[in-house]
Each structure stands twice: as structure tokens, then as C-alpha cells.
């Protein structure tokens, strides 16, 4: 079942759609940024709670610092200096994160109202057209985000794009998760396991240095179930640069087009477990280090730092400027397609 609500905003009317499955669990999506604004799933005793961070008002998602729940673009994550080169031609993108370009700039896909192309059979399809020159990017890009919510409490997300000129594209979902309930406090006791034996170290502005480094023996090691808060305050460069985790891990044995487990998040108190699968090569984990001061949440207060964790499956940050990284150039006639699956279970 899909129900709809419409809320006014400075950008125009924002449609939100709630998909409820046969078990009574539900997902609420927003046309603003093709975003996830609520996910109500059961704990081990069958009690439903909303495990996705989100705001009280639909319009509060416009230009929010956390980019909560949305699909950022044209290029998610950071591009150094906002500088881009394709076939010898240089492009300058807006700089909106220290010296760097982040999430497509201030007018990125996350701050646009996407078209609701269809909403039926427990699936919602959003589309967005980014014109040539939008935020400095070349080519007209047609993007599509398809969400499907199943009776088994799995949220499938397919991200697609085509272009009429060579450009770069990197799409993900930026939902913050708190499996104890979105209003339950910090997630530092959640346990995380990442299917990655290497990560991408960065400079102090969170731009990757261009090499893959083993996690073994460092606070970046999540090859086992580890509490998010166990090492988060250690004097380690990756943690001091961002006041917590905000790094990209290299998914082990990645093969293009092949789904693999990226990460598993567990809240032992509620018994909720989130398994994230993807065919993307990397996963950015961000522990909500700067959530304080966010718009009022669905319970009427601002979130504090570390009250949610984003698990963003994506291509590597600054890949357009790092030849050793998997390429992110999309050419006319090609189809960009990536998958991210969020599976909710209990134990």
C-alpha cells in the first residue's frame, strides 16, 4: 500500500510517499532529494520504531547540513578543489566544503525536488534532469532512483543515469541509521562490521591520498563486529580530521555489477540488524559527527552529534582526480546503474 502527502516549501510542493508492507512495516520517501525520511521496522519483540533520522517538516530537508536521507549528486562525496578534467578540458565546480566540492554543490540533487515518475506495487520511481553546465558539470544528465519495499523488510534502491556528453557521476543514499529508534540517543554502542580489509586515508580536508591502506592494527578495522564508539576518540589522523569516522572503505573482492555485503550494523538491545548490500566499490561510513544544530527532528528536538550513522555505498571520493581509482566517467550511450539493498532483520 502506498499513501501520499503533499507539503509546501520554498522550492514548491514536496510529495512524501509511504509504502507499507503486509507486516505493517513501512518506509516513507520524499521527492525532495529522492530521500528516505522514515523507516518503521520491528525489534525482536515485534515493536515497530522509526530507525531513520529525519525532520518534523518536509521543507526542513532543503539545504540541511547533514544531507539527511537523500540522494546527493551529481557527484556524491568530495572532489578536491572542485576541479575536474575530462578529455583535457577543465571544469570548475562550486566549492562548498572547506576547499572542496561536496555532494554536487549547494544546489546538488539532494536539494532538488525530483519528479515522482510512478508509485505502484510497493515501488516508487523518482527522476531528475540536471542540465548541461549545472553546478559546472558538463552534459545533460538524466537520473533515476527506484525504491522498492518488500514484505521481508528489504528496501531495494536502484540508481541510474544517462548523459548526452561525457561527465562524471557518483550516486548514493545518505540516510542516517539508529536501530534503537531515531530519537533514542547516540549510536556509539551499535556494532558495525565492514566487508573491507583496506580503506582510503585522506588529507585533513578528507580528500583521499590516492592509495589503499590495510585496516589491520588500526582504529579503521571493522572486519569484525565492533562498537562504533570503541576507538572513535583515539588520536588517529582519520578520526581527528573529522571528529569521528568519515572515511571510505574499499569493499573486498569487488566486481562491477556483482552484489556483495558492504556492512552489517547491529543494535544488540533492540535486536535489530541492518545488512547493506551493494555493487558499488566503496562504502563511506559517517558517524554523524556534526549533527548538532540540525532542524527539529520528528520528535521535536535537534539531533546531537553521533545520533546516527550513514552507510553510503558509492564510488571513491575524488576519483575523477585519482587515475588509480575506479573510473567514474559516464559517456553518451552508456548507462550508469548501481544497486544498494538495506535488509532489516532481528536476532
Which pLDDT tens digit goes with each residue over 143-181? 999 999 999 999 999 999 999 999 999 999 999 999 999
* Domain extent listing, the chain: 2-346
Element (H, E) at 177: strand 176-177
Q: How confident is the model at residue 49 (pLDDT cuts 50, 70, 90)?
A: very high
Average pLDDT value for residue range 94-123: 97
Q: How confident is the model at residue 51 (pLDDT cuts 50, 70, 90)?
A: very high
User: Reading across the β-sheet that carries 260-267, which strands appear in turn?
Assistant: 115-120, 123-130, 141-149, 154-163, 336-346, 272-278, 260-267, 191-194, 226-227
**How far apart are the C-alpha atoms of 287 and 289, rounded to whole Å?**
5
Other beta carbons within 10 Å of 24: 11
Average pLDDT over the chain reads 98
Q: 2-346 in CATH: which number?
A: 2.70.98.10
**Which residues form the catalytic set?**
174, 312
Query: What are the φ/ψ torsions at residue 61 (nearest 5 degrees)?
Result: -80, -10
* All three cell numbers of 261: 555485503
Q: Percent of the chain at pLDDT above 70?
A: 100
Q: Give this prediction's pTM.
A: 0.97
Which pLDDT tens digit goes with each residue over 259-294? 999 999 999 999 999 999 999 999 999 999 999 999
* All three cell numbers of 4: 501520499
* All three cell numbers of 123: 515501488
Q: How confident is the model at residue 34 (pLDDT cuts 50, 70, 90)?
A: very high
pLDDT of res. 240: 97
Amino acid at each position: 500500500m502506498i499513501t501520499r502527502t503533499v507539503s509546501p516549501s520554498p522550492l514548491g510542493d514536496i510529495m512524501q510517499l509511504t509504502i507499507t508492507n503486509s507486516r505493517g512495516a513501512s518506509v516513507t520517501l520524499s521527492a525532495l532529494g529522492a530521500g528516505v525520511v522514515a523507516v518503521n521496522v520491528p525489534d525482536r519483540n515485534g515493536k515497530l520504531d522509526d530507525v531513520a533520522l529525519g525532520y518534523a517538516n518536509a521543507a526542513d530537508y532543503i539545504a540541511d547540513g547533514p544531507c539527511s536521507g537523500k540522494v546527493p549528486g551529481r557527484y556524491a562525496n568530495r572532489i578536491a578543489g572542485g576541479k575536474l578534467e575530462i578529455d583535457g578540458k577543465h571544469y570548475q565546480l562550486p566549492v562548498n566544503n572547506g576547499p572542496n566540492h561536496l555532494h554536487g554543490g549547494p544546489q546538488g540533487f539532494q536539494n532538488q525536488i525530483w519528479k515522482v515518475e510512478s508509485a505502484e506495487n510497493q515501488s516508487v520511481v523518482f527522476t531528475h534532469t540536471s542540465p548541461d553546465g549545472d553546478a559546472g558539470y558538463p552534459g545533460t544528465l538524466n537520473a533515476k532512483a527506484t525504491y522498492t519495499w518488500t514484505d521481508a523488510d528489504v528496501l531495494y534502491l536502484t540508481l541510474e543515469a544517462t548523459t548526452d556528453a561525457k561527465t562524471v557521476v557518483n550516486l548514493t543514499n545518505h540516510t542516517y541509521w539508529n536501530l534503537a529508534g531515531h530519537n533514542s540517543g547516540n549510536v556509539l554502542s551499535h556494532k558495525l562490521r565492514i566487508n573491507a580489509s583496506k580503506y582510503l586515508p585522506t588529507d585533513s580536508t578528507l580528500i583521499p591520498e590516492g592509495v589503499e591502506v590495510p585496516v589491520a592494527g588500526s582504529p579503521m578495522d571493522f572486519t569484525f563486529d565492533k562498537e562504533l564508539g570503541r576507538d572513535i576518540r583515539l588520536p588517529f589522523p582519520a578520526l581527528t580530521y573529522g571528529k569521528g569516522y568519515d572515511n571510505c572503505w574499499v569493499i573486498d573482492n569487488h566486481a562491477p555489477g556483482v552484489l556483495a555485503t558492504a556492512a552489517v550494523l547491529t543494535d544488540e538491545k533492540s535486536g535489530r540488524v541492518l545488512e547493506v548490500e551493494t555493487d558499488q566499490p566503496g562504502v563511506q561510513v559517517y558517524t554523524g559527527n556534526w549533527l548538532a544544530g540540525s532542524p527539529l527532528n520528528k520528535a521535536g528536538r535537534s539531533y546531537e552529534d553521533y545520533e546516527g550513522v550513514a552507510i553510503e555505498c558509492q564510488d571513491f571520493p575524488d576519483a575523477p582526480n585519482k587515475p588509480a581509482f575506479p573510473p567514474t566517467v559516464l559517456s553518451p550511450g552508456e548507462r550508469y546503474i548501481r544497486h544498494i539493498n538495506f535488509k532489516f532483520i532481528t536476532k
